Amino acid sequence: MACYLGLDLGGTNVKAGLLDDTARVLAKISTPTHAEHGPDAVIEAMIEAGKTVAAHAGVPLEQIDAVGIGSPGPMDLDAGVIRDMPNLPGWDHVPLRDRIATGLGRPTVLENDANAAAFGEYWAGAGRDPKIHHLVMLTLGTGIGTGIIIDGVLLHGSNSLGAEGGHMILVPDGRRCGCGQRGCLEAYASASNTATRAIEALEAGHDGTTSALASLRRAQAGRLTAKDIFDAAKTGDTLATEIAEQTANYLGIACASLCRLFDPQMIVFAGGMILAGDYLFEMIREAFARHTWKLVKDHVRIVPAELGNDAGFIGAAAVARDADQRGRLHAPLTSRKRLTR
């Protein structure tokens, strides 16, 4: 049976998993990235991780059909090159795909990590129902990563910069975003910014005397997490409820806009914040229902991701499998057949 290696490059850990054609995980490992040692050391760690999982699964490298990499950072997908890595030092136009392909001796594809995670959910997670062909995923973490799959194909755009739904501008001249612009979705509704908005509200004196968040923040050396906000909101805390409702409202509006653009069958949310569960999802669905067309409301499912901590390498393997099945392992990712004109 065909098998695929997925490599998930994160700022803290490199995760590797070997999967068969049915998305069964044959072996997996997680190893520290040691980003501070620079790209050469990180690439070596990725190659070693790949060799280790293959050995654990008892699969010789030459029997791996393809390798997929899920990586953060702006990249040139056709060239397989990382242009920059905001959180990892020394990454400047690094030919990551070819370095991994050489190191492991197997055909390799590079994909943006949010896209890969979405493709993993599409293949083996929340969207695995074979009737699903159009899926959008938003990963709520420090930022908001987005992947968009239409007709079974990931959207990349002309500069590998498509599908950045986290940077849709929702509020003109709004909060400063990590991307340099203002008012992006992620500047409001990512897990980190949900917590930051609560801290800002407390510092502005808003409900600071009565909210449980004020004492919790003092007990945590000035810090709050999105989990703190949702836990407090569930107990009825007024400020926490307000912040949680605002986050859900922004996410619901984003879902409505994404439906107008892409008409997906399913919108999947991933990331730690989804542990807030039905409390969060019901609020997102309500906000979505208020802002979307009646025609759309009932046939879009808004659901949590299912792959958890393995989503990165499963998605990377899914991308490798897709390229293999489409015969695109050795062709530029965006060289899809176009009509002559």
Phi, psi of 2 (to 5 degrees): -60, 150
Greatest extent of the chain over all pairs of C-alpha atoms, in Å: 67
Q: Is 184 in the site for Zn ion (CB under 5 A)?
A: yes
Strand order, beta sheet including 81-84: 75-76, 81-84, 92-94
How many residues sit close enough to Zn ion to count as binding (CB under 5 A)?
A: 5
Stretch that binds Zn ion, among 104-112, 182-190, 251-259, 326-334 (CB under 5 A): 182-190
Q: Is 177 in the site for Zn ion (CB under 5 A)?
A: yes
CA distance 205 to 213: 12
CA distance 191 to 197: 10
CA distance 68 to 25: 14
DSSP state of 55: H
**Which of 28, 106, 167, 321 contacts Zn ion by CB under 5 A?**
167
Q: What is the closest distance, in whole angstroms, from the C-beta atom of residue 177 to Zn ion in the complex?
A: 3
Q: Is 114 in the site for Zn ion (CB under 5 A)?
A: no
Q: Supply the angle between the helices 238-262 and 191-203 in degrees, to the nearest 10.
A: 140
Q: What is the closest distance, in whole angstroms, from the C-beta atom of residue 190 to Zn ion in the complex?
A: 10
Stretch that binds Zn ion, among 47-55, 175-183, 224-232, 255-263 (CB under 5 A): 175-183
Q: What is the closest distance, in whole angstroms, from the C-beta atom of residue 167 to Zn ion in the complex?
A: 4
**Which of 27, 155, 168, 179 contacts Zn ion by CB under 5 A?**
179
**CB-CB contact of 259 with 252 (8 Å):** no
Q: What is the closest distance, in whole angstroms, from the C-beta atom of residue 185 to Zn ion in the complex?
A: 8
Decide whether 94 or 195 has the Cβ nearer to Zn ion: 195
Q: Is 150 in the site for Zn ion (CB under 5 A)?
A: no
Decide whether 23 or 179 has the Cβ nearer to Zn ion: 179
Q: Is 202 in the site for Zn ion (CB under 5 A)?
A: no
Decide whether 159 or 181 has the Cβ nearer to Zn ion: 181
In angstroms, the Cα distances linking 276 to 4, 242, 272, 339 are 33, 15, 8, 46
Q: What is the closest distance, in whole angstroms, from the C-beta atom of residue 179 to Zn ion in the complex?
A: 3
Stretch that binds Zn ion, among 162-170, 210-218, 255-263, 287-295 (CB under 5 A): 162-170
Stretch that binds Zn ion, among 76-84, 172-180, 214-222, 223-231 (CB under 5 A): 172-180
The CA-CA-CA angle for residues 305, 306, 312, to 5°, reads 80
Residues 6+ apart with CB under 8 A from 176: 182, 187
Query: Which residues in this chain contact Zn ion in the complex, by CB under 5 A?
Result: 167, 177, 179, 181, 184
